């Protein structure tokens, strides 16, 4: 007996957006999440214009519905060098607290008829195309197809044998929120500061509310000595350019750590199942593309699965179209992340790039057009990359 047509595992932006679109196409969808909502998620919380566009397609207007804060571009600071770039005119990103965004998406799911259940952890999944199952605390839930949207350390990915061994140096994310003092400088950009072995991200997420995310390597996490809140405070206090902004600020959340960040899947589609969002692979928080890529993959997965459910074609070879479309649509953002990740480890090179971006604002704008979904990496071109470097 089948309990539901599609079982979505994970209720973050990836699972919610996939479930919502499948339900709107008339499919019976059950979504399980191990957490109770609202729940916190370690994230820089800067949704790029590309992702804002994806949410609009879903009919979600964040500023009106979720209390989000627009930002107009990105500023980079490495040592004494800094550069500010703006998104193409008419485009903006949004800083949005994940507890608010993910709760709002849960509400949209319920309105669309998704059977959404929280506080249930999936331990294992398996089955055949059209006859899949998930184990939830010893009870099996059966479905025609499964969507693995259970985040960076996905159980679905591992359970279906799709985990790719870890590559590169492990990096971690640490974040907290602040309520800024009255009169503090207002941010209309996401600011990225690279300093000794770590990067700091400042994203405005509300009225005088600021998300501070830190990306760091394993050695730096050891220096926290198990005291996440104390270590976070020490990192911020040691970075002089932040002092003025945080002067008189109050902590507005419990600082939290997550990682290792880079997680990859061998494939995003297999017999009877697809992986969406971070479950399908997550590189790093460095370019702030995660939620945008997640929403993009949710749309493509919902289209492919809906077709498969309608025609009864749910084998890996049928769902592989999702995999190809996802790769084509996301490769520029993925390569951009790889390029920035490779460069940021070399501080002298990073300083040089920031200086080049300041001298060539037109090239910086071309790079930010990729985040807005209006430009391609190929438009930037090797010639311009050299101009920035030399
Ligand atoms: C430090 C850091 C900074 C980042 N900064 C940004 C940024 O500025 N902008 C941006 O766009 N992205 C950013 N990201 C990436 C972004 O957070 C992710 O890409 C995004 O959350 C992916 O959404 P998701 O729905 O795939 O997964 P998640 O949001 O992680 O949701 C997964 C859900 O699955 C549930 N779950 C997990 N396991 C199980 C299980 N076994 N059974 C049931 N439920 C389960 C979890 O409770 C969770 O609710 C950042 C990430 C990090 C780590």
Domains of the chain: 4-66+95-167+261-340 (3.50.50.60), 171-258 (3.30.9.100), 346-389 (no CATH)
- SS3 state of residue 230: helix
Distance in Å, CA 210 to ligand 1 centroid: 19
Residue 12 tokens read as 């973050």
- Cβ–ligand 1 distance for 288 under 6 Å, the answer yes
For the chain, give the mean pLDDT: 92
Element (H, E) at 166: none
Confidence of residue 347 (pLDDT cuts 50, 70, 90): confident
Q: How confident is the model at residue 2 (pLDDT cuts 50, 70, 90)?
A: low
Question: What is the model's pLDDT at position 168?
Answer: 82
Is the bond into 260 cis (omega within 30 degrees of 0)?
Answer: yes
Kindly report the three-state secondary structure assignment for every residue of 242-297. Answer: HHHHHCCCEECCCCEEECCCCEEECCCEECCEEECHHHHEECCCCCCCHHHHHHHH
Taking the model in full, what pTM does it have?
0.95
For ligand 1, the distance from its centroid to the CA atom of residue 163, given in whole angstroms, is 17
Ligand 1 centroid distance, CA of 12 (Å): 6
Taking the C-alpha atoms of residue 365 and residue 362, their distance in angstroms, rounded to an integer, is 5
Q: Is the CB of 95 under 6 A from ligand 1?
A: no
The span from the CA of 142 to the CA of 127, in Å, is 9
Ligand 1 neighbour 292 (Cβ under 6 A)? yes
Give pLDDT tens digits for 211-266: 999 999 888 888 788 899 999 999 999 999 999 999 999 999 999 999 999 999 99
| Strand ranges for 196-253 from DSSP E | 198-206, 209-217, 250-251
CA of 377 to the centre of ligand 1 (A): 26
Hey, is 59 helix, strand or coil?
Answer: coil
What is the position in ligand 1's atom list of the atom closest to the CA of 122?
Answer: 42
Please indicate whether residue 355, judged by its CB atom, sits closer than 6 Å to ligand 1: no
Is the pLDDT assigned to residue 1 strictly greater than 60?
no
The reply to whether ligand 1 has any atom less than 6 angstroms from the CB of 10 is yes
Tens of pLDDT, residue by residue over 266-305, are 999 999 999 999 999 988 888 889 999 999 999 999 999 9
């Amino acid at each position: 007996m089948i309990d539901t047509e599609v079982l979505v595992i994970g209720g973050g932006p990836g699972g919610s957006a996939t479930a919502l679109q499948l339900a709107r196409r008339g499919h019976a969808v059950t979504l399980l999440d191990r957490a109770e909502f609202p729940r916190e998620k370690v994230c820089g919380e800067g949704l790029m214009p590309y992702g804002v566009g994806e949410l609009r397609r879903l009919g979600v207007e964040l500023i009106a519905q979720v209390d989000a804060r627009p930002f107009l571009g990105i500023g980079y600071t490495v040592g004494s060098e800094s550069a500010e770039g703006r998104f193409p005119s008419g485009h903006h990103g949004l800083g949005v607290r994940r507890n608010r965004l993910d709760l709002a998406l849960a509400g949209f799911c319920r309105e669309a008829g998704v059977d959404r259940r929280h506080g249930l952890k999936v331990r294992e999944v398996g089955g055949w195309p059209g006859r899949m199952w998930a184990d939830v605390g010893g009870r099996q839930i059966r479905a025609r197809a499964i969507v693995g949207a259970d985040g960076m350390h996905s159980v679905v990915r591992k359970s279906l044998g799709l985990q790719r061994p870890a590559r590169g140096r492990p990096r971690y994310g640490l974040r907290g929120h602040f309520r800024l003092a009255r009169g503090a400088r207002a941010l209309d950009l996401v600011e990225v500061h690279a300093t000794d072995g770590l990067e700091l991200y400042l994203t405005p997420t509300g009225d005088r509310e600021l998300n501070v995310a830190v990306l760091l390597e394993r050695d730096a996490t050891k220096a926290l000595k198990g005291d996440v809140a104390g270590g976070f405070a020490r990192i911020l206090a040691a970075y002089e350019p932040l002092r003025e902004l945080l002067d008189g600020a109050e902590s507005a959340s419990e600082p939290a750590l997550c990682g290792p960040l880079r997680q990859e899947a061998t494939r995003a589609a297999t017999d009877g199942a697809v992986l969406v969002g971070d479950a399908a692979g997550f590189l790093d928080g460095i370019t702030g593309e995660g939620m945008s890529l997640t929403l993009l993959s949710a749309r493509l997965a919902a289209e492919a699965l809906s077709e498969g459910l309608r025609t009864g074609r749910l084998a890996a070879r049928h769902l592989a179209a999702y995999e190809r479309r996802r790769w084509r649509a996301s490769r520029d953002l993925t390569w951009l992340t790889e390029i920035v990740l490779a460069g940021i480890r070399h501080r002298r090179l990073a300083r040089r790039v920031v200086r080049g971006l300041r001298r060539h604002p037109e090239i910086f704008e071309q790079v930010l057009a990729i985040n807005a979904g209006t430009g391609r990496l190929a438009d930037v071109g090797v010639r311009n990359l050299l101009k920035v470097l030399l």
